[in-house]
Structure 1
Amino acid sequence: MSNELVINSTQKGERIALLQDKRLLEYHVEEPDHSFTVGDIYLGTVRKLVTGLNAAFVDVGYEKDAFLHYLDLGPNINSLNKFTKDVISKRANSGKLSAFKMEPEIEKLGKIDKVLVKNQPILVQIVKEPISTKGPRLSCDISIAGRYIVLVPFSNSVNLSKKITDKQERTRLQRLMSSIKPANFGVIVRTVAQSRDVEELDKDLQNCLEKWEKGIKLLRDAKPRDRVIGEMNRASSIIRDMLNESFDSITVDSKDVFEDIKSYIRTIAPDKENILKLHNGKNKVFEQFGLEKQIKSLFGRSVSLPGGGYLIIEHTEALHVIDVNSGNKSNSEEDQEATALSVNSEAAKEIARQLRLRDMGGIIVIDFIDLKKADNKRKIHDVMREEMKSDRSKYTVLPLSKFGLMQITRQRVRPEMNIVTRETCPTCGGTGTIQASILITDIILNNLDYILTKQNESRISISLHPFLHAYFTKGLISQQMKWFFTYKTWVSLIKDSSLGVVDFTFHNKFGEVIELNAQ
């Protein structure tokens, strides 16, 4: 099983695609001015205490105050508040906690007005990005994620991932981390730390401590709403969490992003540096990997299954509903039960993929095709659990109910990825009537003639829909070849599935868009 990461830089930010065996598994869009990312640590101000909710609303600079519940304060909130106060007042000069006197832990079922007061400065971490009409969700149980470990200030415990099942390895990691971690810092050991030696784990620990130290230096002069410690960008966090032996390619099309990721990989896994590639081909990187077509086909209301069935996916404010249909599934199986089992198994695999792809969270209800045998219902439940194992979000999968419904809860920490796949006709603007679209070839030819003869451009290229690309390049003496004989210069044609059938863009030799004056 191979994992590939493809990163396309645009004016609006980075588009990040994670592929597994050439199939799109995760898709993220990272905007350059996007703030309040999961993991960011801010200096906030308590604006309001709501005792009925046992929660506080905290100003971190978002248009709506962020939500902080008592259960998210963490047991050592008093120690954090004391240390924050010491740093802001310049009584503490560094992030070291070895000489810091810890405060008693708070009660598990206490009241928030006994811990916080209005207008007090507080160090908080984003645990859920702003979604819909809600502001960010916060926690005071601060943690800093590394590649192999998660550093937890104001704690002394060493916890291991539940996915590390080998008893001997658990004992080794427990003893190792207990011996190298500083005082008053806790550690959570991640699954990828298995079989790693002390040198690698210690290096990761020092990197986390350095990040904490830099944040505390910024905190000394920070103003309310300032970000003190920023989580790395989405591409780097995916690499940090998933880079392993099965990761065999990272392709980017921006020199700056290439250098950033190269230096990061050199820090965490120097042996993997050679898998990073800079794309400089004629076609766009997403076009090269066939991703534009996958994105258009996978984010619609209806999603096709390989065997002929299909899914209908509906999103509401309260939950997501997925209906499984057999479609034109051939009846090659023995009976209706076998057909239903086959379609449901395919659907379970695709649904697990769709949850990651769209980053769907909250409650998901799946209406599978009815199965009569209890054994077959168990098989569908097992398939879904197996397919969800590689999901990095927290989730719960319940068995099929009496009515053939499966309920899944999946942690939602950022807005769901939603891409509009129904396009408004670029010619008619949705009115349903168009002029003769065949004229598009004449329009392109007129613009080409104007640019090459009146503007004296050379080495130009045209991005256009694959249908138009085929029209201009087909045949032994194609239209593209005729242009060469006429204008004595070669015009490059670039397929771009993201464009409409009658859309096109001219580029000069530097790749800049040429403004068109002739039609």
Structure 2
Amino acid sequence: MAVLQNKNRTPYKNKRYSKPRKPVKKEIFINETRNETRIAITENGQLAEILLERPENTRMVGDIFKGTVARVNPGMRAAFIDIGFDHDGFLHFSDINESVHDFMDLFESEYDEDSTPKSRGTTVRGEWMPKPGQEIIVQITKEPIHDKGPRVTTHISLPGRFIVLVPNDKQIGISRKISNFQEKRRLQKIARNLKPDDFGLILRTVALGKSAEMIENDFNSLMSNWKIIEKEIKSAVPPAIVYKDMEMAFSVIRDLLTEDVGKIVTDSKKLYRKLGSYLKNLSPHLLEKLQYYNDPVPIFDAFNIEPEIEKTQHRKVWLKSGGYLIIDHTEALVTVDINSGRYQGKKEHELNSLKINLEAVPEVARQLRLRDIGGLVVVDFIDMDDEKNRKSVYVSMRKEMAKDRARSKVFELSELGLMEMTRQRIGPGLLYRVSDVCPICDGLGRVISKDTLMNKIERWIMRMKIENTERRLILNLHPDVAFHFTENSRESIRRLMWKYWVKIDVKNDAELSMNEFKIISKKSGEDITEQFIS
């Protein structure tokens, strides 16, 4: 699909959209099992974000590494850093702190017997370039995607609840969302009193109205962490990780728990206690929002979240009018096609097209956020001839994308009805986290991963045990999947049997796709799969 570039069209950056918004009631739900942690964020009762983390694929953004410059490519204005991954980290020259060489000198041994000066790199056209073999401290800003390594920066930062600590910097920053002049001055004064030499501080939005004591406690905690990191940097032999950011559940609470969050609900007693301790130290007044869910019905079923998550794995998204979206992923971009579908308008074609397009706009924005789609996105709207109508759709999309905490740029519609936009990409997106490349079509499509399928089976058994006394089940799977669970991953099935006290016999069923499973009651011989599907 060709992407048209119109130089007369200007991008809209969502961070500049300042029109007052209606209050949004947020709720956070956390489902934790041995296999994965899932976090659902709802806004006014509707699922807005789903975050997922598994033991073998933990979140990397924010992790700090001591690496070695593997190679430098001046033409790309980038260096590639060996931090111990299959693919080297990508360090663009624009992500290199101007005083990074002074920063690295802080970690050289005072008793280094080698008196030969170490190379600090070179400067080309005003830009400092590292040299191959040079040790360097970097932080991951984007996770690996496809066959690309992670993106890294030398601008190190440690986020806390109220402030962000920036080593090797001298600036004080205040969140742009804090607009009150008196409050800005108060926070700047607090920051000046706290800031050590060679450190920068950024006051986050949640610092608004917080006491100097609370902000100082957060600062002291971050400084303690940094002292530990400094020791790790001095002793580590590259490539080595010197700092691992918080678990996903804690980072979400740290970054997203504000006064407009109504409640945080988790089904893990262990996590409930840990989060309670964390909140007690940093924001005790928010402790009452934390709730423990202890009901046999799975938490995401009880709050009608599971069906919405299932829909994110489908290409087609229905609109209330009968129209629908088709979302397709390619290597270069993501396309969203708007179709009128079953909609039968009574007005002329232009007005019908405008109605469906305007209905599609908030759903497109929601799906991009829900599926964590980043990079280049092209939306193919239904054709409209009237320039005012195209402008209306553009303005509406600007407004909807401004609600997203990920940065984005939105361009006006082209004459062919195409809208180009970019959305900040930090990770591979939800689709790539829960699916594998399809082995049948050689990568043209995707199937849900075996871990995802096993988690779906476990949730099915949880529902079944609430209403049913079945003790013996036959689990039918595609032959390739069945082989995986009986030969390569037997422990997964054994764990389910012990945990739910049920005997499971795995059988091959060539009629099933790799996304499906079928469960038969051994007692009655009946297919009971649909009875307990969410």
TM-score by length of 2: 0.74
Against the structure 1 CA distance between its residues 329 and 112, is the aligned structure 2 distance closer, same or farther, given a 3 Å change threshold? Answer: same
- State the SS of the aligned residue for 1:85: coil
1:23 aligns with 2:46: yes
Q: Which has the larger displacement, 405-414 or 260-269?
A: 260-269
How far did residue 105 of structure 1 move?
13
1:62 aligns with 2:85: yes
Larger radius of gyration: 1
1:416 aligns with 2:405: no
By relative contact order (CA 8 Å, sep 6+), the higher-ranking structure is 2
Which residue, out of 213, 228, 246, partners 1:232? 246
Against the structure 1 CA distance between its residues 165 and 462, is the aligned structure 2 distance closer, same or farther, given a 3 Å change threshold? Answer: closer
How far did residue 2 of structure 1 move?
2.2
Partner residue, 1:359? 372
Which residue, out of 319, 326, 330, partners 2:333? 319
Against the structure 1 CA distance between its residues 510 and 366, is the aligned structure 2 distance closer, same or farther, given a 3 Å change threshold? Answer: closer
* Residues in 1 aligned to 2:228 and 2:322: alpha-carbon distance in whole angstroms: 55
1:73 aligns with 2:96: yes
* Residues in 1 aligned to 2:249 and 2:106: alpha-carbon distance in whole angstroms: 33
* Residues in 2 aligned to 1:304 and 1:210: alpha-carbon distance in whole angstroms: 51
* Residues in 1 aligned to 2:78 and 2:352: alpha-carbon distance in whole angstroms: 51
- State the SS of the aligned residue for 1:84: coil
* Residues in 2 aligned to 1:347 and 1:465: alpha-carbon distance in whole angstroms: 36
Which residue, out of 155, 159, 169, partners 2:169? 155
Against the structure 1 CA distance between its residues 277 and 508, is the aligned structure 2 distance closer, same or farther, given a 3 Å change threshold? Answer: farther
* Residues in 1 aligned to 2:110 and 2:246: alpha-carbon distance in whole angstroms: 24
How far did residue 134 of structure 1 move?
0.5
Give runs of aligned pairs for residues 127-142 of structure 1, distance below 5 A.
127-142=141-156
Which residue, out of 171, 176, 179, partners 2:190? 176
Partner residue, 2:159? 145
Partner residue, 1:511? 500
Q: Per-residue displacement from partner, 1:393-440 (whole Å, max 9, x unpaired)?
A: 22111122222221111111111111569x99xxxxxxxxxxxxxxxx
Q: Per-residue displacement from partner, 1:244-299 (whole Å, max 9, x unpaired)?
A: 12212222222222222222222221112122222221122222222221112233
How far did residue 88 of structure 1 move?
10
Q: Per-residue displacement from partner, 1:36-87 (whole Å, max 9, x unpaired)?
A: 6111001111222223323221111111111112211112212211113248
Structure 2 unaligned regions, length at least 5: 1-23, 114-119, 440-457, 472-476, 483-492, 507-521, 524-534
1:395 aligns with 2:430: no
* Residues in 2 aligned to 1:89 and 1:22: alpha-carbon distance in whole angstroms: 61
Contact 1:40 1:230 in 2 (8 A): yes
Q: Which has the larger displacement, 66-75 or 136-145?
A: 66-75
1:110 aligns with 2:133: no
How far did residue 319 of structure 1 move?
0.6
- State the SS of the aligned residue for 2:50: strand
Q: Per-residue displacement from partner, 1:11-38 (whole Å, max 9, x unpaired)?
A: 3221222122232211122111335611
Against the structure 1 CA distance between its residues 302 and 203, is the aligned structure 2 distance closer, same or farther, given a 3 Å change threshold? Answer: same
Q: Per-residue displacement from partner, 1:303-331 (whole Å, max 9, x unpaired)?
A: 11123221011111101111111222242
* Residues in 2 aligned to 1:75 and 1:137: alpha-carbon distance in whole angstroms: 18
* Residues in 1 aligned to 2:290 and 2:61: alpha-carbon distance in whole angstroms: 26
Which residue, out of 356, 366, 372, partners 2:385? 372
Partner residue, 2:519? none
Q: Per-residue displacement from partner, 1:442-481 (whole Å, max 9, x unpaired)?
A: xxxxxxxxxxxxxxxxxxx995598x99xx97xxxxxx6x
1:51 aligns with 2:64: no
Contact 1:54 1:112 in 2 (8 A): no
Partner residue, 2:61? 38
* Residues in 1 aligned to 2:276 and 2:124: alpha-carbon distance in whole angstroms: 45
Query: What RMSD, in angstroms, separates the aligned Cα atoms of the two structures?
Result: 3.5
Partner residue, 1:268? 282
AA partner of residue 62 (structure 1): F
AA partner of residue 70 (structure 2): R
